[in-house]
């Protein structure tokens, strides 16, 4: 069994074929799909989907997250953050995310992104749930802030989680592992000349979880098309190839990692 730990299947590109998309995921061996929220409205959609898809006999089990994506922070209010806090303890919410920092698109609200990141980290520690982190061109600040929050925390072990769509570089990999975090391996791992397998070669298997980031970052050979959770099998196959493992071994290890990190049964 495989777990897609990061898929935005509540977005518009999945409206027309949602059930077929889940059937294909089942067919590819995907047993659980984790839904990272991006703003307050999407938290409600994630919870509704988790309610509708909680029976493993009827297809992949869907799990919600609560969080505000760093790129959505520009428009976010204290009320939105209050919504995240309200549902954080809910049993259907398996992680706080996605949060993090994105310096690629817009540098005009770095301070607000950092403030929201700290609120997410403190919330995750308070409710003892893992963080799902987005990092684009912001590795230094992200690692620094996580370190500072761990230092200031009464219970630093509670500050844990996954750097989603991880791509190195090696010195960053080291710092992420030192912080005790997992890394999410997705479509970029399969890109020819993408360099991600080399840059993540030192990550031990027990720190890896699989993901798609659907509808984005579609793996080879489907680049250019919409991504979906069934494609996590392509990521697993590439990881098996790179690490000299069987597909079964990769599935067993990454599924056990995801179950332990996110408390799935």
> Which residues contribute to the site for Zn ion (CB under 5 A)?
36
Of 36 and 60, nearer to Zn ion (C-beta) is 36
184: closest CA among 165, 167, 199, 203?
165
Nearest approach, Cβ of residue 96 and Zn ion (Å): 14
Q: Residues with Cβ < 8 Å from 155, sequence gap 6 or more?
A: 125
70: closest CA among 95, 45, 105?
105
Nearest approach, Cβ of residue 9 and Zn ion (Å): 11
Tokens of 256: 């056990």
Beta-strand (E) ranges in the chain?
A: 2-4, 30-35, 61-66, 93-102, 131-136, 161-163, 182-185, 208-210
Nearest approach, Cβ of residue 154 and Zn ion (Å): 30
Of 34 and 125, nearer to Zn ion (C-beta) is 34
Of 36 and 130, nearer to Zn ion (C-beta) is 36
Of 227 and 230, nearer to Zn ion (C-beta) is 227
Nearest approach, Cβ of residue 98 and Zn ion (Å): 5
Could you tell me the sign of the dihedral formed by the alpha carbons of 35, 201, 239, 102, in that order?
positive
């Amino acid at each position: 069994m495989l777990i897609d730990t990061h898929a935005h299947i509540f977005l518009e590109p999945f409206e027309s074929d949602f059930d077929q998309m889940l059937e294909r995921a089942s067919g590819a061996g995907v047993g659980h799909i984790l839904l990272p929220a991006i703003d307050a409205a999407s938290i409600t959609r994630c919870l509704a989907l988790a309610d509708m898809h909680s029976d493993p006999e009827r297809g992949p089990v869907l799990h919600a997250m609560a969080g505000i994506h760093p790129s959505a922070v520009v428009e976010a209010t204290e009320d939105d953050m209050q919504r995240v806090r309200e549902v954080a303890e809910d049993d259907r919410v398996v992680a706080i995310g996605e949060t993090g920092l994105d310096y690629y698109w817009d540098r005009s609200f770095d301070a607000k992104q950092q403030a929201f990141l700290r609120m997410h980290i403190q919330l995750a520690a308070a409710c003892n749930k893992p963080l799902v982190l987005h990092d684009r061109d912001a590795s230094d600040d992200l690692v620094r802030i996580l370190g500072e929050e761990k230092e200031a925390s009464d219970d630093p072990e509670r500050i844990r989680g996954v750097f989603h769509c991880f791509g190195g570089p090696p010195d960053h990999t080291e710092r992420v592992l030192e912080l005790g975090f997992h890394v999410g391996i997705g479509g970029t791992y399969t890109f020819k000349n993408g360099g991600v397998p080399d840059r993540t070669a030192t990550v031990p298997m027990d720190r890896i979880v699989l993901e798609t980031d659907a509808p984005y970052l579609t793996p080879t050979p489907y680049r250019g098309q919409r991504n979906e959770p069934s494609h996590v099998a392509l990521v697993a196959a590439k990881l098996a190839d790179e690490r000299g493992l069987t597909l079964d071994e990769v599935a067993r290890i990454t599924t056990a990692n995801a179950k332990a990190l996110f408390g799935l049964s």
